[in-house]
Amino acid sequence: MKDPHDVIFRPVLTEKAYDGFEDKKYVFEVDPRANKIEIRQAVESVFGVKVQSVNTLRTLGKMKRQGRTQGRTPEIKKAYVTLKKDSKSIEFFDGMAQ
């Protein structure tokens, strides 16, 4: 099994993510190779909460140009994690969206 801190990279802190805090919905940037089961286990072990569902979203990197050379920005994968109603909220996010 992977280390949970290798699966979850960072939280996504946007206005849309802040709206979900009241409903116990959190957004994380995760390893593109991680599946939903690994993401669920990582969130439960790192934050000590009970996860109800995990939805994932992959975004391709944008094409960028610098003169004649061109390339892509990195591809990322986001996980939308919904906690169970009887679970406690994640303390890291408490007080951020008020």
Domains contained in the chain, number:
1
Q: Is residue 98 part of a domain?
A: no
Q: Is residue 95 part of a domain?
A: no
Q: Is residue 97 part of a domain?
A: no
Q: Cα-flanking dihedrals φ and ψ of residue 59, to 5°?
A: -120, 130
pTM of the prediction?
0.86
Q: Is residue 47 part of a domain?
A: yes
Q: Are 39 and 33 in contact (CB under 8 A)?
A: no
Domain that holds residue 20: 4-85
Distance from chain centroid for Cα 14: 12
Q: Is residue 94 part of a domain?
A: no
d(CA 89, CA 23) in angstroms, rounded, equals 10
Q: What is the CATH number of the domain that holds 57?
A: 3.30.70.330
List C-alpha distances in Å: 45 to 32, 48, 51, 64, 69: 19, 5, 10, 38, 43
78 DSSP β-pair partners: 29, 57
Q: Is residue 48 part of a domain?
A: yes
Q: 42-90 pLDDT, tens per residue?
A: 999 999 999 999 999 999 999 999 999 999 999 999 999 999 999 888 8
Q: Is residue 50 part of a domain?
A: yes
